[in-house]
A and B are shown apart, each in its own frame.
Chain A
């Protein structure tokens, strides 16, 4: 078994046994939808309002998982073991980012249908929107993993990651909400500027995967 799949499987198994992140993320998202139902006093949403409720809710739910991503490593001495192991340390970056992508996909598989059930008249825009969300997840995972490592090692812990990540993730929100605005429009999906948003998300993912890959080694040094 390669170090990458070993680390990834370890993370997924820990999550399956302890269920520390996923149920909290899903519960947070559903509660947020209910809050929006009363905050906006609307029973159906479309266009920019639908995207504006869905995308930030998923983003905030993702922050919960990002905050907890390295808690086990810090508390149980996992960082020391990675340092001792004769493997490339960026493998940890790849494994954690992949785990985060998997968590986010599961979150979206739960939260997006519930959102559609609560607020959307037609779910026809959700299929192309899934592609947008997938690319958003990769970007979230790339920056989230780097910033989560920094926050975990600091004394501010849970406070620091959201503080740094919220401005850093704005391009993802712009692209996801921009695409969602057209895809979730009242009269059925409209592919206006779909390619632009895909390209922006791809560029963001590429840049921050490279930055994470290049810098992650320095975060683990002791």
Chain B
């Protein structure tokens, strides 16, 4: 497993991302039938839903890295947890924006408080938005990493619980305007799954890229310091 992972380079991952995402959106626009009720506007489904699923999974992945970090004390896992949350928060912002556009297109309003998925996602997004002030309010490096990991674990446990709570808050079982994949015909499900895979690859590429760039700038800083010391 570890060897298999090492043999995948960032370049290969990026190429795979472009290929799978490209194929996914070609399928979504050319192969998938137009929705009978919503027409062309429904195509945003292939962008919005994969973004949301990948973003939430990213938060869970960040919690798992955080557990690894606390167990081993290796700062590599803290960096992974941090970057996972960072990319997922960016995806989350895109989810809220595309969600608002879709809501306007299909329900006629920019925001719908009665839709539990939408509200749950906003709460999760607000919680993770506080990760940044938390990190930057702690100066000591080790402590910052440990506290950020505790936050990532707490928030990771919160994500599923929050979705349960908000869903229960609806007075009756609210008519699901779309039940993410359940009721989809195969001709829509297949493009959707390809888009989902592409989005997951995009997330992984961005996380990897950010980690590499962080490592590179840390290296650069170290070299510059060494140079200044000799000069």
Contact surface of A with B, Cβ cutoff 8 Å: 143, 146-147, 150, 153-156, 159-160, 163-164, 166-168, 170-171, 174-175, 178, 193, 196-197, 200, 203-204, 207-208, 211, 214-215, 218-219, 221
Contact A215 B161 (CB under 8 A): no
Which residues of chain A have C-beta atoms less than 8 A from B138's C-beta? 153-155
In the assembled complex, B231 has its CB within 8 A of some CB on chain A: no
Q: For the side of the interface on B, what is the size category? A: 20 to 34
- Count: A-B pairs, CB below 8 Å: 92
Task: From known contacts A170-B123, A175-B165, A178-B169, infer whether A150 and B150 are also in contact, taking CB-CB under 8 Å.
Answer: yes
Contact A171 B147 (CB under 8 A): no
Which residues of chain A have C-beta atoms less than 8 A from B103's C-beta? none
Main secondary structure of the interface of B (DSSP, over half): helix
Task: From known contacts A155-B138, A171-B162, infer whether A211 and B127 are also in contact, taking CB-CB under 8 Å.
Answer: no
24 A-B interface contacts by CB (under 8 A): A146-B150, A146-B154, A147-B154, A150-B150, A150-B151, A153-B138, A154-B137, A154-B138, A154-B147, A155-B138, A155-B139, A163-B133, A164-B127, A164-B130, A167-B123, A168-B154, A171-B162, A203-B164, A208-B157, A211-B157, A218-B70, A218-B146, A218-B149, A221-B146
Whole-angstrom CA separation of A163 from B155 in the bound complex: 13
Looking across the interface, which residue of chain A has its beta carbon closest to that of B155?
A168
The distance from the CB of A179 to the nearest CB of chain B, in whole angstroms, is 11
Known: A197-B168, A204-B161, A215-B70. 15 other contacts (CB 8 A): A153-B143, A155-B139, A156-B134, A159-B133, A163-B130, A163-B133, A167-B127, A168-B127, A168-B154, A170-B162, A171-B161, A171-B165, A200-B164, A200-B168, A211-B153
In the assembled complex, B19 has its CB within 8 A of some CB on chain A: no
In the assembled complex, B166 has its CB within 8 A of some CB on chain A: yes
In the assembled complex, B158 has its CB within 8 A of some CB on chain A: yes
Looking across the interface, which residue of chain B has its beta carbon closest to that of A173?
B165
Partner of B168, one of A164, A170, A196: A196
Looking across the interface, which residue of chain B has its beta carbon closest to that of A210?
B157
Partner of A143, one of B137, B149, B154: B154
Whole-angstrom CA separation of A163 from B128 in the bound complex: 11
Contact A200 B154 (CB under 8 A): no
The distance from the CB of A204 to the nearest CB of chain B, in whole angstroms, is 6
Which residues of chain B have C-beta atoms less than 8 A from A215's C-beta? 70, 149-150, 153-154
Task: From known contacts A146-B154, A215-B153, infer whether A178 and B168 are also in contact, taking CB-CB under 8 Å.
Answer: yes
Whole-angstrom CA separation of A17 from B168 in the bound complex: 43
